[in-house]
Amino acid sequence: MTIPTLRIIGHRSRSCRSASSSLFSSNRKWTSSRGFGTTTTITTPSNNNNDNNNNAKNDRLLVVGSGVAGSAAALVAAETYGIPVTLLFAGGVPQDCNSWWAQGGIIYRNYDPASGDSAESLAKDIHRAGAGLCADDAVRKVSEEGPDRVKELLLSSAKKAFANVPFDKTPDGELSLCLGECSLV
């Protein structure tokens, strides 16, 4: 069993109080140091059963940003592939990121057939919100594949790669979906 290291480095000079960070599970061990460039090291046991990754101990990965995407990339690299990861972020703690502060959550599509929501309607909404600045291929990929990746990352705790992002949930544990929480200008 390998023990990959996930180092987190923030630029603000204050103590890292990340032991209760909602972006990372509580079973990780945290150490921190004070000073310019707060550094936090997380050691997490790897369940690396991937035979195709014989060089994991030699691989290195630098992830910039502690939002949902950066945290997910760092967790998958460390836990699934045993790759030592360094996560850089601009804030004083990992939660000091746009994903944490975003009032509107993340793009997600309602799978309930009664909702009338679809990949096409999501793509249309993304294009409208992007005011003509969106790349068609990226919008297509996000609208078709994004909701499944969100579900997989945020709700699939059985895979032990659960990011534990504190999105609102319904009493039965599903994501609490809403419409009209953000406005287009």
Q: pLDDT for 37-78, tens place per residue?
A: 334 444 444 444 444 444 444 558 888 888 878 887 888 888
Of 100, 124, 143, at which residue does a domain stop?
100
Predicted confidence (pLDDT) per residue in 90-147, tens digit: 777 777 777 766 555 566 677 777 877 888 988 888 888 888 888 999 999 988 888 7
Q: Which residues contact 174 (CB under 8 A, 6 or more apart)?
A: none
Inside any domain, residue 35: yes
The answer to whether the CB of 6 falls within 8 A of the CB of 87 is: yes
The verdict on 35 and 88 lying in the same domain is: yes
- Tell whether the model's pLDDT for residue 163 goes beyond 50: yes
CA angle at residue 143 from 137 to 145, to 5 degrees?
Answer: 90
107 shares its domain with 152: yes
Return the higher-pLDDT residue of 41 and 85.
85
The reply to whether 92 and 115 lie within a common domain is no
Residue 40 lies in a domain: yes
Question: Is residue 146, in this structure, part of any structural domain at all?
Answer: yes
In a shared domain, residues 77 and 17: yes
The reply to whether 63 and 150 lie within a common domain is no
Count of other CB atoms within 10 angstroms of residue 167: 16
Q: Are residues 21 and 107 in the same domain?
A: no
Last residue of a domain, one of 100, 134, 149: 100
pLDDT the model gives residue 168: 67
Structural domains in the chain (count): 2
Tell whether 15 and 79 lie within a shared domain.
yes
Question: Is residue 77 included in any domain, yes or no?
Answer: yes
Banded model confidence at residue 30, pLDDT cuts 50, 70, 90: very low
**Whole-number pLDDT of residue 25:** 41
Q: Which domain holds residue 28?
A: 5-100
Residue where one domain finishes, among candidates 100, 120, 142 = 100
> Is residue 161 scored above 50 in pLDDT?
no
Look-up of token digits 């057939």: 113
Q: What is the pLDDT of residue 158?
A: 55
Q: pLDDT at residue 34 above 90?
A: no
Q: Which helix (H) or strand (E) holds 143?
A: helix 136-155
Quick one: pLDDT at residue 6?
Answer: 53
Whether 184 is in a domain gets the answer: no
- Considering the domain architecture, whether residues 33 and 79 belong to the same structural domain is answered as yes
Asked whether residue 41 falls in the same domain as residue 112, the answer is no
Same domain for 126 and 145: yes
Q: Using DSSP, how many helices (H) and how many strands (E) does the chain show?
A: 5, 5
Residue 20 shares a structural domain with residue 34: yes
* Domain assignment present for 149: yes
Question: How far is the C-alpha of 36 from the C-alpha of 24, rounded, in Å?
Answer: 23
**Is residue 76 assigned to a domain?**
yes
User: Is residue 110 located within the same domain as residue 70?
Assistant: no
Q: What pLDDT does residue 155 have?
A: 60
pLDDT at 49: 46
Residue 183 lies in a domain: no
With both helix axes pointing from N to C terminus, report the angle between 136-155 and 119-129 in degrees, rounded to the nearest 10. 110
